Amino acid sequence: MGCPPRPPPARGAAVASPPHDPCRRRPPRSSGGERPPPPPPPPPTGVFPPLAPPTPPTASTVVVSTLLRFPPLRSALMAVGRARIIRRADALGVGWADRVAALTAALPELEAHRAAVTDDDVTPPAYYLSPFHAYAEGNVGWAPALEVEASALAVHAPLDGGAGGLGGDAVLRRNFTAILRSHVAPASVRRVVDLGCSTGLSTAAVAAAYPDAEVVGVDLSPHMLAVARYRAAERAPPRATYLHRRAEATGLRGASVDLVTLSLVAHELPAAALGAIVTEAARLLAPGGAFAVMDADPAAWAAVPPAVFVLFASTEPWVGEYARVDLEGVLTAAGLTVVGGGKNTARHRTVVAVKPQA
């Protein structure tokens, strides 16, 4: 599996990197003692998904798209969208401000986790740093890391079947793992890698579904991973470990993993990056291992008015490409065999593919 990171410390304990850690890769220092800047990430390699033709524009989508080209207006709309999510969260009883304040109070410990998990050789690709989810800096930084869990509770709340509570996120993930277990028996899984794990919500769900497996979460944001490590102390058992890596190039040993998961990530990727991640997942899998993708179901967007979809895409810059990707075709092109899946909510689907036996 490669070198796992250090386990998270006990809550409240000081977090420090040891003097020598062979698993922590750092670039060599120059003769002047200054560390050279990390090289830019290589372009994605692997399966480049075929895209369906785009939907012809309508008068309303042309108007909205034209308006969004003006940065001040685009920024204003993103701010309005973020404020709307926060108001919705407060109306549902999420307690957005309290949740964020609790994590903010733990920033000294979170900073220590971030320092411990950061791999200085990892450079985020350009797509990851573009404005995203109403954050100008993309997914890197403390603001998205501190707010993502509250946002997930609010955005997924309607998925609880009309119960009116905050159980929608749990329903989404519970249904995903139920589909997963129907195709991949827990007894057959010793190692799991959760790509794009964010703050560990998806990783914790998979770890609970496969209690005897070693579970590793991989993400590009050391800030998200810091929250994941901090939260690990609250989970029983806190089995997952976390790596700061690109999902397109994890550096983990090939053919060593029984299950790879990608949850709510595909719609956040350009098509070329999605193809590269599928290729990497296929490389990681041992023969007979499974790769599961859970994400929004593009078919559920058919009833969304085109202009509304364009507004939604203003905070999800790659969702238009995702809607046009033949996911099953991409999996097949990477050498995997699609074996099933299903709807885990009215708005989400899961696709499971298996690497053929040698």
When pLDDT is averaged across residues 193-203 and rounded to a whole number, the result is: 97
Predicted local distance difference test score (pLDDT) of residue 38: 46
- Give the number of other CB atoms < 10 A from CB of residue 287: 10
3-state DSSP assignment of residue 219: strand
- Structural element, H or E, at residue 243: strand 241-244
| Cis omega (within 30 of 0) for bond into 4 | no
Task: Give the residue among 253, 227, 250 at the shortest CA–CA distance from 240.
Answer: 227
Tokens of 271: 């098509």
d(CA 317, CA 139): 13
Kindly report the CATH class assigned to 59-354.
alpha beta
Q: Report whether pLDDT(294) > 90.
A: yes
Predicted local distance difference test score (pLDDT) of residue 314: 67
Positive or negative, the Cα torsion across 12, 13, 17, 22?
negative
Task: Check residues 284 and 232 and name the one with the higher pLDDT.
Answer: 284
Task: Check residues 17 and 211 and name the one with the higher pLDDT.
Answer: 211
d(CA 180, CA 195): 15
d(CA 62, CA 306): 10
Q: Report whether pLDDT(275) > 90.
A: yes
Q: What is the pLDDT of residues 98-119, one digit of tens each?
A: 999 999 999 999 999 999 999 9
3-state DSSP assignment of residue 60: helix
Inter-residue contact 243 to 215 (CB < 8 Å)? no
